[in-house]
Structure 1
Amino acid sequence: MKLQGKVAIITGSASGIGRGIALAMAKEGAHIAIVDVNEQKGQETLAEVNQYTEGCLFIRDISVKENANEIVEEVVKKFGKLDILVNNAHASRQASFVETTQELLDLSFGTGFYPTFHFMQAAYPELKKTKGKVINFASGAGLDGQVTQTSYAAAKEAIRAISRVAANEWGPDGINVNLISPIALTPGVEQWRESAPHLYDAMIERIPLRRLGDPEQDIGRVALFLASDDSNYITGQTLMVDGGSIKLR
């Protein structure tokens, strides 16, 4: 039970990678605050994690600065502390570089970068008390400059930048800040596989391990490692959990 008694906020955890992380951490004893815009899916995930650790809660997220502060306050009021912050939520739409509009940039930064930034600020005083862990999310879209991903890549690289700054500033406080860059078989990818199997197969061929990651067993277990004491001497790093697709130097 690597996270016995630990308290974690996980954004975007009603489904997909966030749900996988919530399950992985709950099975190791963590109390989970599921933060998501989808209440139905959030309540379903809440029922799942409560099978492994009692007293978890669902909080509907509205991506504004005030909401981040309120969510942290609600979690600390219920559990008495905060040990882990996982900023997973992010939405975007694809477009070529020249067709990327301010609206698309606002969507990506408004659901990904700004919530990550505001949640980190809101959580800092509590994480300082517990010498806690922050886990943010990068993407191969930014690292590799994938086509049609201008707004998403920009927001993800901005998240990487502030994570490195926080790792340097918060290191003396005993707070670890790291990132995961994943490839995973999420519900959205499953739908895409059904509609465009030839494109899906071509993508798999470009992954050295020839498969997509499982949200819980592959991505969730790495998040568990970063949230546990096993990673106490790691900070400011981007862990590529992508089957070998991108090798950082």
Structure 2
Amino acid sequence: MKMKSKTVIITGGGKGIGFGVATAFAKEGADIVITGRQESALAAAKEKLESAYGIRVGYVAGDLGLEETAPKVVAKAIEMTGRLDVLINNAQASKSGVMLADHTKADFDLAINSGLYATFFMMRAAFPYLKETQGSVINFASGAGLAGRLGQSSYAAAKEGIRGLSRVAATEWGEYGINVNVVCPLVETEQLKKWKEEYPDVYAKTIKGVPLGRFGDAEKDIGRTCLFLASEDASYISGETITLQGGSGLRP
């Protein structure tokens, strides 16, 4: 129970990668606040986590790209437990697959607002409380930015902006004992499973580019790494980008 008596905020925690990460923290005893746009998904996630692991789960439905949402999320955590120990910025929307020359300003705004601005707003709102606990921030970026992947221009721009923001925060917040790190996951999602069924040959070709021969598991691979980064064991790690891509995210 490494996270017993700890409070964790996970954006986009109602489903997908975020729910996998939330499950990993719930198994270690953390109380959790999750966010997302769909209240029904958040309510279902809350019920699953509380009934399975006996923890407290709060949620806030809303658009994190709006400046007023982040303070509400942080206030929910403080109201629920009186503290905040870990902030995980996972939520992101984008027009993936749209080529750069075909992007509209609205497409670009979607990625920047839901990713970069949302991360900035959440970090700023959480900072006073993370100072009190000498807490941790874990931000999600992507191999799309590291590798410049086709059809990912706005998404990559948002994710690389998050990496730059994280490095500056690691520098500025180190004196308060707050460590800030970035993870770049490659995860088997429901969308990916559907893609595997529809395009098995392309899937098989893609898997060949992953040395470990599989996509990551949201809870066991991504969530457990986030647990490590939020633990005392990783208190001296800050400003780093960790690629969780089965060996396919190699970089100097």
TM-score under structure 1 length normalisation? 0.97
- Rounded Cα–Cα distance in structure 2 between residues aligned with 1:188 and 1:13: 17
Shift of 1:46: 1.1
Q: Secondary structure in 2 aligned to 1:181?
A: strand
Matched, 1:82 2:84: yes
Aligned to 2:205: 202
- Rounded Cα–Cα distance in structure 2 between residues aligned with 1:201 and 1:220: 25
- The aligned amino acid for 2:178 is I
Aligned to 1:243: 246
Aligned to 1:153: 156
Gaps of 5+ in 2: none
Aligned to 2:108: 105
- Rounded Cα–Cα distance in structure 2 between residues aligned with 1:216 and 1:54: 17
Contact 1:138 1:159 in 2 (8 A): yes
Q: Secondary structure in 2 aligned to 1:65?
A: coil
Contact 1:30 1:53 in 2 (8 A): no
Gaps of 5+ in 1: none
Alpha-carbon RMSD: 1.0
**Aligned partner (choices 167, 173, 176) of residue 176 of structure 2:** 173
Shift of 1:66: 0.9
How is 1:15-164 mapped onto 2 (pairs within 5 angstroms)? 15-50=15-50, 51-63=52-64, 64-93=66-95, 94-164=97-167
- The aligned amino acid for 1:29 is G
Moved runs in structure 1, 4+ residues, more than 6 A?
A: none
Percent of aligned pairs sharing the same letter: 45
- The aligned amino acid for 2:53 is Y
Q: Deviations over 1:63-97 (max 9, x none)?
A: 21111012111210121010000000001112112
Shift of 1:136: 0.2
- Rounded Cα–Cα distance in structure 2 between residues aligned with 1:76 and 1:167: 23
- Rounded Cα–Cα distance in structure 2 between residues aligned with 1:248 and 1:135: 20
Aligned to 2:235: 232
TM-score under structure 2 length normalisation? 0.96
- Rounded Cα–Cα distance in structure 1 between residues aligned with 2:58 and 2:79: 12
- Rounded Cα–Cα distance in structure 2 between residues aligned with 1:203 and 1:39: 34
- Rounded Cα–Cα distance in structure 2 between residues aligned with 1:184 and 1:231: 23
Worse overlay, 44-53 or 163-172: 44-53
**Aligned partner (choices 156, 180, 193) of residue 190 of structure 1:** 193
- The aligned amino acid for 1:139 is S
Contact 1:11 1:86 in 2 (8 A): yes
- The aligned amino acid for 2:18 is G
The number of aligned residues is 249
